[in-house]
Amino acid sequence: MEPGKATSTGPVVFQTRGLTKTYDQGEVQVHALRGVDLELYEGEMVVMLGASGSGKSTLLNILGGLDVPSSGEVRYRAIDLSAAGDRELTGYRREHVGFVFQFYNLIPSLTARENVAAVTEIASNPMSPEEALELVGLKSRIDHFPAQLSGGEQQRVAIARAIAKRPDVLLCDEPTGALDSATGVLVLEALEKANRETHTTTVIITHNASIAGMGDRVITLSDGNISGERHNECRQDPRTLSW
């Protein structure tokens, strides 16, 4: 597989059929997803675009085993996530998924290295924390606590933490949402590099259309449905992005 090339022809990693999700918000029923059919392929980088309330986070949470659909089916390879219980979902997250969140969610009492180690300790085939931090360019900040790191640095620690266990999928929820453009680019570079070097299926959800160019595929969500999908001939280098 050539780095930077569209891989939508590889084996299917995720498959959803008629996925719906309904929340009760007080007296009102919110339809976050209204029947989503989707395939994600091994090694590809997908950018999911959508405005706030489009259902993109709900979809990511279901793919990541944090939430279960109200109806429909979602499969990760042979695992039926829609039928899994808490124990199976925990195991699934532990074995297969790397998460990156908008607000980093680092453990403030642990240093960069220890934050990564918190995940590698429970993984079956991890890289070393040092290796993971080197991959995101933070080797020199390895013994710093989150409070001693900038927002961008914290997010890169979070990426290192996500990729260190060599996950099968990397799910990123607004990874640049809390960062300025220049810092955001650094973070996206780290994600791009990780995808390129580890061939991990990567899903980035964002409301920021400027990011779309770096994906192999761009899926647009609105009002709980997939409203558009396009393939990029060539992935854009994150360094050329700005917003």
Partner 1 sequence: MRGQVLAIALVIAGGVGVCVMSLVNYSSLLATRAQYYDQHEFADVFAPVKRAPRHTLQEIATLPGVARYEGRVEGAAKLEMPGFPDPVSARLVSVPPEGQPEVNRLFIRQGRLPGTGRSQEVAVIGSFAEAHELALGDQFQAIINGRRQELTVTGIVESPEFIYVIPPGGMLPDYQRYGVLWMNREALESAMDMRGAFNSLVLTLRPGHSVASAVDALDRLLDRYGATGAFGRDDQFSHRFLSDELNQLKTMATVFPLIFMSVAMFLLNVVIGRLISTQRDIVAVLKAFGYSNRQIAWHYSKLVIVIAVIGLLAGLALGLWLGRSLGELYMDYYRFPGLLFRIDPSWLLLLAVLTITVAWLGAWRAIRQAASLPPAEAMRPEGPARYRVTVVEKLLSGIRFSQPSRMIVRQLSRRPVRTLLSMSGVAMATAIVMVGNFQFDSVSLMVHTQFARVQQQDLTATFIEPVNSAALFGLQRQAGIRYAEGRRSVPARLVSGHREWRSAVTGIPSDARLQFVIDSDLQPVTLPREGLLLTDYLADELGVGPGDVLQMELLEGDRRTVNVPVAGITSEFLGVGAYMDLEALNRALGEGPLINQAMINLEPDKASEIYNRLRETPRVLGLSIRQAMLDSFYDTLARTFLTFTFFNSLMGGIIAFGVVYNTIRISLAEKGRELASLRVLGYTHNEVAHILLGEVALLLLLGIPLGWLIGQGLALMIVTAMQTELYRVPLTITTQTLGMSALVVVVSAIASGMIAWWRLKELDLVAVLKTRE
Residues making contact with partner 1 (CB under 8 A): 57, 61, 64, 66-67, 86-87, 90-91, 93-95, 97, 99, 101-103, 105-111, 114-115, 117-119, 121-122, 145-147, 161, 173, 178
Nearer to partner 1, 95 or 237 (CB): 95
C-beta atoms surrounding 181 within 10 Å: 12
- With beta carbons less than 8 A apart as the criterion, state whether 161 and 116 touch: yes
Give helix 151-163 / helix 181-198 axis angle, nearest 10°.
10
Nearer to partner 1, 3 or 91 (CB): 91
- Least separation in angstroms between residue 43's CB and partner 1 is 22
To the nearest 10°, the Cα dihedral for 204, 206, 208, 210? Answer: 10
- With beta carbons less than 8 A apart as the criterion, state whether 76 and 93 touch: no
- With beta carbons less than 8 A apart as the criterion, state whether 142 and 150 touch: no
- Least separation in angstroms between residue 9's CB and partner 1 is 30
Using alpha carbons, list the distances in angstroms from residue 81 to 31, 68, 86, 93, 208.
20, 7, 10, 11, 29
Instruction: Give, as one character, the DSSP assignment of residue 126.
Output: P
Structure tokens at 122: 């429970």
Nearer to partner 1, 122 or 209 (CB): 122
- Least separation in angstroms between residue 57's CB and partner 1 is 8
Nearer to partner 1, 14 or 99 (CB): 99
- Least separation in angstroms between residue 191's CB and partner 1 is 17
- Least separation in angstroms between residue 139's CB and partner 1 is 19
Q: What does the alpha-carbon distance between residue 189 and residue 137 come to, in Å, rounded to a whole number? A: 10
Nearer to partner 1, 143 or 229 (CB): 143
Smallest Cα–Cα separation from 225: which of 35, 29, 17?
A: 35
Phi/psi of residue 49, nearest 5 degrees: -105, 145
Nearer to partner 1, 71 or 105 (CB): 105
Nearer to partner 1, 187 or 241 (CB): 187
- Least separation in angstroms between residue 63's CB and partner 1 is 13
- Least separation in angstroms between residue 128's CB and partner 1 is 14
